[in-house]
Amino acid sequence: MLTLLLGSLALAAPPETLIPAARLRAGEELIYVGDILDQSLRPKQLWKRSTHIEVRLFVLGQSEGITDLAILTSLQARDNAGMKQVAETVNGALKEIVARTAAVRLELIRIDAAGAVAWLRPVPQAPPLSLTAQTALTPLPRLPLDAASDFELGVFPPRASVGGDGGWKQADSGRPAVHWKAKPPLVLDGADVVEFTGVQESEDWVRPNAFAKPWRRTERIWLGPADGIARVLWRRIETNDGPAPATRLETRLDLQSTIHHRDEGRVRREIESAWWFGHQAAEATFEQRAALAVRIRRYCEDYPATSFRDAVEAVARRCEAVQ
């Protein structure tokens, strides 16, 4: 879902839709909240898992079409044993509090002028970090069909072709094309939006045989025509066993608020500190992690918390879990 959100920021719709790429400013924070519902529809294997998701995007910098972002993703299990295990493993949460501890991930991302998305890999150093045009990048990997499609990793739709029905098809690196359509403008929660619907499905989705494993992905994005920012993102991924429904994964993110931090330096320091602590924890020995946990807890006492404090505390929990 994160890549769908990033794809919406780089989204450049066909000229007739008049939707610009998202205009973001340094110090701006976008907060999305939603839920993930994962379920099996097989008659003898019925189960359902629900997870709350929150995504915070902070604009570290914007220059000459290049946008650098810090993205904090938080997943909170709702009666979900699998996510509880992730929270314990990733965050180092103690077993007695793991049920109420979110799994947290901090990423530094760059979107270039062409809309391509990559991880930022700055030189490891204590804050402040240096992010320049020469900062090393790591392309996002090709993603599995049950997670996201390749169109999310680049600007859309330069590789698309417009059809006679007013929609267009997005090429997908050897996979079935993504068929997109733009619907007429509407008002959502008092704001003007344009809905884009994309469908990608296996060739045997409509007429599967008894041995087929067809799948279909449906995307819906509600974009603001004035600023190009997504208000709602929704995805459903379905798989079948032959003609019978097998699994369904449904995710929705709603833009909760947009904040422009006047003291953006304080938020940036928190993000860079969390990144630096995380890098140190990954390289630390068993003994060094204990000392690092103490340093992180002291940092939390010395500096006022920002909306990215969870990223700092998650590193501390990982260090403390190995003691």
pLDDT digit of tens for each residue in the chain (323 aa)? 455 555 555 444 444 455 566 778 899 999 999 999 999 999 999 999 899 999 999 999 988 888 999 999 998 887 655 555 555 555 555 454 545 677 899 999 998 877 788 999 999 999 999 999 899 999 876 555 444 343 333 333 333 444 445 565 655 556 777 888 888 888 888 888 989 898 988 889 999 998 988 999 899 999 888 888 889 999 999 999 999 999 999 999 999 999 998 889 999 999 999 999 999 999 999 889 999 999 999 999 999 999 999 999 999 998 987 65
Residues in CB range of 291: below 8 A, 6 or more apart: none
Query: By C-alpha distance, which of 30, 100, 26, 49 is closest to 253?
Result: 30
Report the amino acid identity of residue 77.
Answer: A
State how far the Cα of 203 lies from the Cα of 216, in Å rounded to an integer.
10
Gap between the Cα atoms of 169 and 159, Å rounded: 8
Q: Please tell me what DSSP assigns to residue 184.
A: P
Q: Are residues 51 and 281 in contact, defined by beta-carbon separation less than 8 angstroms?
A: no
CA 61, chain centre distance (Å): 19
Cβ burial of 246 (10 Å; 0-12, 13-18, 19+) is middle
Q: Which two tokens stand for residue 307?
A: 């909306």
pTM over 0.95: no
Question: What residues does 34 pair with on adjacent strands?
Answer: 53, 253
Which pLDDT score is estimated for 250? 93
Please report where in the chains the tokens 């610009």 appear, as a residue: 20
Compute the distance between CA of residue 9 and CA of residue 67 in angstroms, rounded to an integer.
10
Q: Which residue in 120, 103, 99 sits closest to 111, CA to CA?
A: 120
316 neighbors 284 (Cβ within 8 angstroms): no
Type of residue at 215: W
